[in-house]
Copies of this chain bind each other. A is one copy, B any other.
Amino acid sequence: MLFDTLAIFGVGLLGGSLGLAAKAKHVARRVIGVGRSVSRLQEAKLAGILDECTTDPIVGITRADLVIVCTPVDDIVRQIREIAPHCPHGCLITDVGSTKRDIVENLCGTASFVGSHPMAGSEKKGATYARADLFQNRVCIVTPHKNSEPASVRRIAQFWEALGSRVVEMSPEQHDRAVAYISHLPHAVAAALAGAVDPVHLAIAANGFKDTTRIAAAEPAIWEPIFRTNRDEVLAACDRFAEQFDTFRKLLAADDGAGLIHWLNEGKRVRDAVGS
């Protein structure tokens, strides 16, 4: 087994799925859940996600050799700063935050910390939707900092690989730029699309509308700090998108058939490269 005791901070969709996956893949012998709600932690324990649970962070990490922080992105630094001095010797810490530059900059003094971002979210919320296969065949980005020890980075990568993910290593800056286009911009666009529709039209909504707007159903309280901790990159991505969209509007206004086909082909070429 790669780890003996895994402590998960924040047992929602991601944290809960990590518990299930770590047990299903025999990556950790024991999974401890740490959270604020005793009843939700007990539910997760009953659901087989956790072996033990506690609301006390310091109790939660007592015997941990891996801590994964799955709290909202603007709470991760605080949480790790609180527990790092109390972690057992050799214990590694990672997180699943959707932005990395802010988190990694603030924690680069913590040698045991290596940032992660599994690209495995969902618009659903809560451990009820946890799945042991959530990380299977997904990308997990690992973002070391200048004080990260190569052995620790390797061990965190092995953890994600053991859950079935493909690990990609990036700098926090590269990560934040890439997810601005691949995740944050699409989220803003999906929400704008949903918000632009008069609800009277929803009766005829079909798969196209459902797919395009699906992620707009995600929890605003989770996404607000994601956008804010990646503001510069998201704003740049917004401008790039607005330019692209404006080209479409102008081509259509000019009734430029050949131009529209060319423009649509650009998007199709990119989308075709991604696969279903």
Residues 144-163 of A, flagged 1 when their CB comes within 8 A of B and 0 if not, give 00000000000000000000
Nearest neighbor of A183 in chain B, beta-carbon distance: B208
Once the chains are docked, how many angstroms separate the CA of A198 from the CA of B177?
10
> A139 contacts B203, CB within 8 Å?
yes
> A196 contacts B206, CB within 8 Å?
no
Size of A's binding interface in residues, CB under 8 A:
91
Nearest neighbor of A178 in chain B, beta-carbon distance: B201
> A209 contacts B191, CB within 8 Å?
no
- Known contacts A244-B195, A257-B228; is A202 also within 8 Å of B274 by CB? yes
The verdict on A237 contacting chain B, using a C-beta distance below 8 Å, is yes
The verdict on A1 contacting chain B, using a C-beta distance below 8 Å, is no
> B192 contacts A196, CB within 8 Å?
no
Residues on B with C-beta less than 8 A from A264 are: 191, 216, 220, 223-224
- Which among B178, B199, B212 is the interface contact of A270 at CB below 8 angstroms? B199
> A191 contacts B248, CB within 8 Å?
yes
* Copies of this chain, count: 2
> A214 contacts B271, CB within 8 Å?
yes
Residues on B with C-beta less than 8 A from A212 are: 186, 189-190, 211-212, 214-215
- A residues 222-276 with Cβ under 8 Å of B? 223-225, 227-228, 231, 234-235, 237-249, 252-253, 255, 257, 260-261, 263-268, 270-276
Residues on B with C-beta less than 8 A from A210 are: 274-276
Once the chains are docked, how many angstroms separate the CA of A194 from the CA of B266?
8
The verdict on A72 contacting chain B, using a C-beta distance below 8 Å, is no
Return 12 A-B CB contacts under 8 Å, by A number. Answer: A119-B204, A168-B203, A168-B204, A181-B198, A182-B197, A185-B193, A191-B263, A194-B268, A194-B270, A195-B266, A227-B252, A245-B245
